[in-house]
Amino acid sequence: MNSDFLVIGSGIAGLSFAIRAAEHGTVTILTKGKAMESNTAWAQGGISAVLPEGLREKGDNVESHVADTLDAGAGLCDKQAVQTIVEEAAETIEELIACGVDFDKHGEEFSLGKEGGHSHRRILHSKDTTGHEIAASLLETVRKNPKITILEEHFAVDLITSGKLGMVSEDRILGAYVLDEASGDVNIFRSDRVVLATGGCGKVYLYTTNPDSSTGDGLAMAWRAGARVSNMEFVQFHPTCFFNPAATGAKARSFLVSEAVRGEGGILRDANGYEFMEKYDARKSLAPRDIVARAIDHEIKKTGAQCVYLDVTHKPKGFMQDRFPHIYKTLLEFGHDCEKDPIPVVPAAHYQCGGVVTDVNGKTDIRGLFAIGEVACTGLHGANRLASNSLLEGHVMARLAMKEILRIHPFSKPDPEAPEIPAWEYGDTAPPDEMVVIYHNWDEIRRLMWDYVSIVRTTNRLERAAHRLVNLRKEVRSFYWGHRVTSDILELRNLVATASLVVDCALRRKESRGIHYTLDFPDKDPRACVPTTLRRF
């Protein structure tokens, strides 16, 4: 299948880019599950933006948003990338509203929220399902456009580059091999302009707020194709994931209780009702996520408790039902009334701050390959993402990437002649007993990452993880090359690659900074204040 643009992923970044790209050519969007199964659709909190004068909170400005982002990033942000993305925020809000996104208002004014690390109220939201509202509105626009083809349950296996086909004079993108999950066939999707918008890698950990689709696919594909990867040691853990051992099902184990709840006055307490955050930071429950997650982790380990509690019982009756109806209703489904009893919470893997190295326009090392949104590492987040900057980044990068692609790959200039792409070679079908091993490996990767590479790390634990991952990579490689590929095998392959990149980056950082905290190097080292960058040779 040929198209002018090939977009892999269906979150805010991918959908926003596709809408723009359709003004210039044909677009194919690939998503390995359903189109609404994205990190965007699961996002509760909101999108940060300094609005024009008269619409923003008094005293807020772009410089303040930049300063908050740099502070959260603990010295590793790219200041120019931060400035560019924050300055584009007001335009992003205008475009999302034009696409049908309905942000909450008080009368004629936007209802602005405040979250950890922000000095002002600048978070626009749609109740507590902001991401779902954005994804649904963008997807409706996409489905109406005849120049956009969206293919669900199509899993991108690997990127195709001229270098992989043996050309030595250049390395450019040619397309991707893609598994049709319904038929089991692997087909060639040809394009000279490929955009990775695949989100993050939360499912590499045992406990995560991410959907099941977040297995690091785009990151792993770009890495195998030869693109640089950076700052993968910085995996952000959300402090407040619902904890209830009596609740069953994947949703119960990964249900996020938005940071906006703390922004609206929610208080973190221990099992005895003590407000423990004042011991760790003057901002208490509104400290940045890395501080709050480590504090909760420390309290749980110190006391032997299974969780801590997020208390909103002091808020007026009906407040949670009105401001956070999705959270309130979901907790009720699990038998918990948060207006009567504090919410039991634990930290969980939430956001990938590192990723494929790009500039602010999404351009990677490989000609024609762009990465936007969570899969990319622009330098916006540094060592710790400021809350609600991610949806903003995805939308802004889609806009900037489109401009850059038109600049360096204009349609007035014909695409270079493509070499012949060989058809996919199929292996044998994996026997049922070996499929059990695949599921075991999946579980083992996630457990060892949780035990050895989570909120608090040590060199010894990281080395244990690295040693086991070497063996797991060998086992996964034999499955991949020896059997007919399935979505399970592909996800396992990407998980082990992504886990290895996280561990390798973590071992290289001999200091504690942002959300990378190691007991062996508990302080910041000014000499280490540089990105951790890996390249496959």
- In the annotation, is 477 catalytic? no
- Please write down the long-range contacts of 81-86, taking CB distance under 8 Å and 24 or more positions apart: 81/359, 81/360, 81/378, 81/379, 81/380, 82/379, 82/380, 84/360, 84/396, 84/400, 85/360, 85/378, 85/380, 85/389, 85/392, 85/393, 85/396, 85/397, 86/50, 86/62, 86/392
What the block records as the tokens of 508 is: 């290289």
As a whole number of angstroms, the distance between CA 406 and CA 364 comes to 15
Minimal CA–CA distance to 64: which of 78, 47, 51? Answer: 51
Across-strand partners of 2?
190
Could you tell me which residues come within 8 angstroms of residue 415 by beta carbon, excluding any fewer than 6 positions away? 192, 409
Amino acid at 149: T
Give 191's Cβ-side CA count (13 Å radius). Answer: 27
Q: What are phi and psi of 318, to 5 degrees?
A: 95, -10
Amino acid at 121: R
Task: Say how far residue 44 (Cα) sits from the centre of its chain.
Answer: 13
As a whole number of angstroms, the distance between CA 187 and CA 175 comes to 11
Amino acid at 451: D
Minimal CA–CA distance to 150: which of 1, 23, 7, 2? Answer: 7
Active-site hit among 122, 172, 262, 289: 289
Specify whether the CB–CB gap between 19 and 145 falls below 8 A.
yes
Minimal CA–CA distance to 405: which of 57, 218, 173, 235? Answer: 173
Residue-level length of the chain: 537
Q: Is 466 helix (H, G, I), strand (E, B) or coil?
A: helix
How far from 249 is each of 205, 255, 369, CA to CA, in Å?
A: 17, 10, 38
Give the number of other Cβ atoms within 10 Å of residue 74's Cβ.
20
As a whole number of angstroms, the distance between CA 455 and CA 236 comes to 8
Q: Is 67 helix (H, G, I), strand (E, B) or coil?
A: helix
How far from 238 is each of 221, 293, 295, CA to CA, in Å?
A: 26, 7, 12
Give the pairing of strands 533-534 and 229-230.
antiparallel
Give the pairing of strands 173-180 and 154-161.
antiparallel
Q: What is the DSSP string of 90-152?
A: HHHHHHHHHTT----EETTEE--B--TT-SS--EE-STT-HHHHHHHHHHHHHHT-TTEEEEE
As a whole number of angstroms, the distance between CA 528 and CA 514 comes to 13
Q: Which residues are catalytic?
A: 289
